[in-house]
């Protein structure tokens, strides 16, 4: 048996997980169905919302200035497969966005074919 805490809502239920067989998962301790869904996803295909920054290119800047932002904050539009996060970070760190950018603007569509977009997190 293993245990985990459901982080889907502030209740933070302590979940107990039993795996009687390879394909069977029995979850207890959850106060609502979302806890079971969370445990199954965490065990079978864990996902994380990823935040990172990429380089900014200011289209209006003639000379680099300390007042101008150099990095653009980004975040995924949904949970991203945990085992592929290093690949995603490599993609993001190689990205350069031209300013100005708008919050919610798609920086990378369908990142690595996962169906998850990488979005700009702040207008700048």
Nearer to ligand SF4, 13 or 92 (CB): 13
How far apart are CB 33 and ligand SF4 at their closest, in Å? Answer: 7
Residues forming the site for ligand SF4 (CB under 6 A): 6, 8-9, 11-13, 30-32, 34-35, 38
Output the six-digit token pair for 6.
């459901």
How far apart are CB 21 and ligand SF4 at their closest, in Å? Answer: 24
Question: Beta partners for 48?
Answer: 80
Three-class secondary structure assignment of 20-35 = EECCEEEEECCCCHHH
CA distance 6 to 15: 7
- Enclosing H/E stretch for 58: strand 51-58
Nearer to ligand SF4, 27 or 118 (CB): 27
How far apart are CB 43 and ligand SF4 at their closest, in Å? Answer: 15
Query: Other C-beta atoms within 10 Å of 117: how many?
Result: 18
The residue nearest ligand SF4 at its CB is: 35
Nearer to ligand SF4, 31 or 103 (CB): 31
- Enclosing H/E stretch for 57: strand 51-58
Nearer to ligand SF4, 47 or 92 (CB): 47
């Amino acid at each position: 048996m293993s245990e985990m805490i459901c982080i889907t809502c502030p209740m933070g239920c302590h979940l107990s997980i039993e795996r009687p067989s390879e394909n069977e998962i029995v979850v207890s301790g959850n106060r609502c169905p979302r806890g079971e869904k969370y445990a199954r996803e965490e065990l079978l295909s864990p996902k994380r919302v990823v935040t990172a920054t990429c380089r900014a290119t200011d289209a209006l800047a003639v000379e680099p200035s300390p007042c101008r932002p150099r990095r653009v904050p980004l975040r995924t539009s949904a949970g991203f497969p945990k085992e592929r996060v290093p690949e995603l970070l490599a993609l993001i760190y190689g990205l350069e966005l031209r300013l100005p950018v708008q919050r919610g603007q798609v920086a990378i569509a369908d990142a690595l074919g996962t169906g998850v977009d990488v979005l700009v997190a702040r207008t700048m």
